[in-house]
Amino acid sequence: MLSLARYIKNRRYELLLFTLLLHLFNAVILINLSIYIDIFWPLDMLLLGIGSYGIFSERTAVVKVIKNILFSGVMGITILYCFTGIRVPHVMTLLTVVYVAFFIFIFIEVLRFLLKPGYINKDIVVASICGYLLLIEASLFLLQLIYYSIADSFKGIDGTNSATVFIDFVYYSTITLTSIGFGDILPTHYISKLLTAITGIAGQLYAVVLVGVIISKYTSAQANKTNH
Residue environment code for 31-56, b if the CB has 16+ CB neighbours within 10 A, otherwise e: eebeebbeebbbbbbbbbbebbbbbb
Query: 199 with 139: CB under 8 angstroms?
Result: yes
Query: Residue 99 sits in which domain range?
Result: 2-227
Which stretches of 52-189 are DSSP H helices?
61-84, 89-115, 122-149, 162-177
pLDDT at residue 228, rounded to an integer: 59
Q: List per-block mean pLDDT (blocks of 10 residues) for the chain, which spans 228 residues.
A: 68 89 86 74 78 70 81 77 64 82 90 81 89 95 93 93 89 93 93 96 92 80 66
Domain count for the chain, please give it. 1
Helix (H) or strand (E) holding 214: helix 190-227
Whole-number Å distance between alpha carbons of 8 and 155? 41
State pTM to two decimals: 0.87
pLDDT at residue 200, rounded to an integer: 94
